[in-house]
């Protein structure tokens, strides 16, 4: 049965409450189910408050202020009140003929700005995040900045890294449409050696057009696949804004289909001031008992048990056999020290009592 069709059938069964809950998939003592981390703007701010050259990473809400675009907006008669939230403002002007030039200007300035951002030399939270997961896992980023993929690139020497998925496009990704290859921005296609094209950025509008661009459609399909198999979800600095209806809907249905909501941990990393709102938002479709709220990446199981965090958790709750030694991350001064530490984590196997 084609994947799409199977997913729709499962979704229907889940809606009717006919899906049994399942235990994690384990083969040859290895956990197969992914841990999925969803990152939003808050994660990029935590990872790189300023880039290597001192540039500040704006939140989408105030991006027009940081990039000096308020004068252009004023020329079109927008008031301070209308300019309070870029996402809502952009939704309002998008696709309207009278704002065509303005929209093009905003898109160009924003795209150029993000393309030039460079991750600082010292280890960032994105390096720790990439290195806290393994090949079966995935990071879904709704951010345009290239820090996550730059962190991935400089840690490929360690190996066994998670998949990166960008449903809103990303300035650090390049695409070859002929070869259907996704790579790093400004690099050559490894197959046909043509320069990779910029991955499009998906702008915040109420009803996003996910299907007109094949690369974006592919990213949504990848996101749905990993989420529907996830045995654990972490939401890092992602507020699930009102303009992201589709993203929230995707997480909601994928969670039902995964059949693991009674056992899969759901971790939110966000600021203390957002706790009540965030708990309420996610409790609508994740089990309240499984939600934990942290303010820092250091407080998560990813930091406590990098590379084997779900394995460690399931050992404790399913096998009643907690691992004897834990190897939490430390703050390392250099990337090399962090990578050398990760190389010492070799217990990828899910431990089985009596084996
Ligand atoms: Zn190519």
Report how far ligand 1's centroid is from the alpha carbon of 100 (Å). Answer: 32
From ligand 1's centre to the CA of 127, what distance in Å? 28
Judge contact between 150 and 118, C-beta under 8 A. yes
> Separation of 198 CA from ligand 1 center, angstroms?
13
Q: CA-to-CA distance for 298 and 46, rounded, in angstroms?
A: 12
Task: Determine contact, residues 238/39, Cβ cutoff 8 Å.
Answer: yes
Distance from Cα 180 to the centre of ligand 1, integer Å: 7
DSSP string, 255-288: HHHHT-TTTS-EEEE--GGGHHHHHHHHHTTS-G
Whole-number Å distance, alpha carbon 184 to ligand 1 midpoint, is: 13
Domain spans, the chain: 3-50+121-167+207-343, 60-116, 172-201
What's the gap in Å between 152 CA and the centre of ligand 1?
21
Å from CA of 195 to ligand 1 middle: 8
Residue 40: its pLDDT value, please? Answer: 92
Residue 353: what pLDDT?
39
User: How many Å lie between the centroid of ligand 1 and the Cα of residue 169?
Assistant: 19
Q: How far, in Å, from the CA of 191 to the mean position of ligand 1?
A: 5
Question: 177 CA to middle of ligand 1, Å?
Answer: 7
d(CA 24, CA 314) in angstroms, rounded, equals: 8
Give 304 Cα–ligand 1 centroid separation in angstroms. Answer: 40
- Residue listed under structure tokens 């190996």: 159
| Per-residue model confidence (pLDDT) at position 14 | 63
This prediction's pTM: 0.87
Q: From the CA of 221, how far away is ligand 1's center (Å)? A: 21
What's the gap in Å between 185 CA and the centre of ligand 1?
13
State the distance from the centre of ligand 1 to the C-alpha of 121, rounded, in angstroms: 30
Whole-number Å distance, alpha carbon 171 to ligand 1 midpoint, is: 19
Q: Are 124 and 21 in contact (CB under 8 A)?
A: no
Distance from residue 217's CA to the centre of ligand 1 (Å):
19
User: From ligand 1's centre to the CA of 190, what distance in Å?
Assistant: 7
* Beta pairing class for 138-141 and 35-39: parallel
Q: How far is the CA of 156 from the centre of ligand 1 (A)?
A: 21
Over its length of 355 residues, how does the chain's per-residue pLDDT go in tens digits? 666 676 666 667 666 666 566 678 877 667 889 999 999 989 998 999 899 999 987 777 888 998 999 999 999 999 999 999 888 888 888 888 999 999 889 888 988 899 999 999 999 999 999 999 999 999 999 999 999 999 999 999 999 999 999 999 999 999 999 999 999 999 999 999 999 998 988 876 666 666 667 888 899 999 999 998 899 999 999 988 766 778 888 887 777 777 776 778 999 999 999 999 999 988 877 778 888 999 999 999 999 999 989 888 887 777 766 666 678 999 999 999 999 999 888 765 544 433 3
Q: Tell me which residue has tokens 């590379």.
A: 307
Residue 188 Cα to ligand 1 midpoint, Å, equals 8
Question: Ligand 1 centroid to 199 CA: how many Å?
Answer: 14
CATH architecture of 3-50+121-167+207-343: 3-Layer(aba) Sandwich (3.40)
Q: What is the pLDDT of residue 124?
A: 97
Helix extents (H) in 202-344? 214-229, 245-258, 275-283, 301-304, 309-317, 335-343
How many helices (H) and strands (E) in the chain?
14, 11
Distance 120 CA to ligand 1 centre (A): 30
Q: Which of 331, 342, 350 is nearest to 156 (CA)?
A: 342
The pLDDT of residue 202 is: 85
């Amino acid at each position: 049965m084609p994947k799409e069709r199977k997913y729709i059938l499962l979704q229907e069964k889940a809606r009717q409450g006919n899906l049994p809950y399942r235990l994690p998939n384990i083969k040859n003592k290895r956990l197969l189910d992914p841990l999925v981390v969803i990152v939003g703007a808050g994660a990029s701010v935590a990872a790189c408050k300023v880039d290597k050259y001192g540039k500040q990473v704006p939140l989408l809400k105030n991006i027009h202020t940081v990039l000096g675009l308020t004068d252009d907006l004023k020329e079109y008669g927008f008031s301070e009140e209308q300019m309070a939230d870029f996402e809502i403002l952009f939704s309002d002007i998008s696709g309207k003929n009278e704002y065509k030039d303005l929209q093009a200007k905003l898109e160009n300035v924003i795209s150029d700005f993000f393309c030039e951002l460079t991750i600082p030399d010292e280890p960032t939270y994105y390096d720790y995040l990439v290195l806290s997961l393994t090949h079966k896992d995935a990071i879904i980023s709704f951010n345009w900045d290239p820090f996550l993929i730059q962190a991935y690139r400089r840690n490929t020497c360690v190996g066994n890294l998670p998949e990166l998925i960008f449903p809103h496009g990303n300035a650090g990704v390049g695409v070859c449409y002929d070869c259907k290859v996704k790579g790093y921005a400004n690099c050559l296609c490894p197959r046909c050696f043509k320069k990779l094209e910029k991955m499009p950025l998906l702008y915040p509008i109420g009803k996003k057009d996910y299907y007109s661009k094949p690369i974006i459609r592919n990213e949504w399909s990848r996101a749905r696949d990993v989420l529907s198999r996830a045995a654990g979800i972490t939401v890092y600095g992602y507020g699930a804004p009102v303009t992201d209806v589709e993203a929230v809907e995707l997480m909601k249905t994928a969670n039902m289909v995964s059949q693991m909501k009674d056992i899969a941990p759901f971790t939110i990393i966000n600021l203390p001031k957002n706790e009540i709102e965030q708990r309420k938002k996610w409790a609508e479709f994740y089990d309240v008992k499984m939600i934990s709220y942290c303010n820092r990446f250091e407080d998560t199981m990813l930091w406590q048990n990098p590379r084997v965090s779900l394995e460690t958790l399931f050992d404790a709750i399913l096998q009643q056999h907690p691992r004897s030694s834990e190897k939490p991350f430390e703050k390392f001064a250099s990337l090399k020290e962090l990578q050398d530490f990760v190389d010492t984590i070799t217990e990828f196997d899910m431990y089985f009592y009596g084996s």
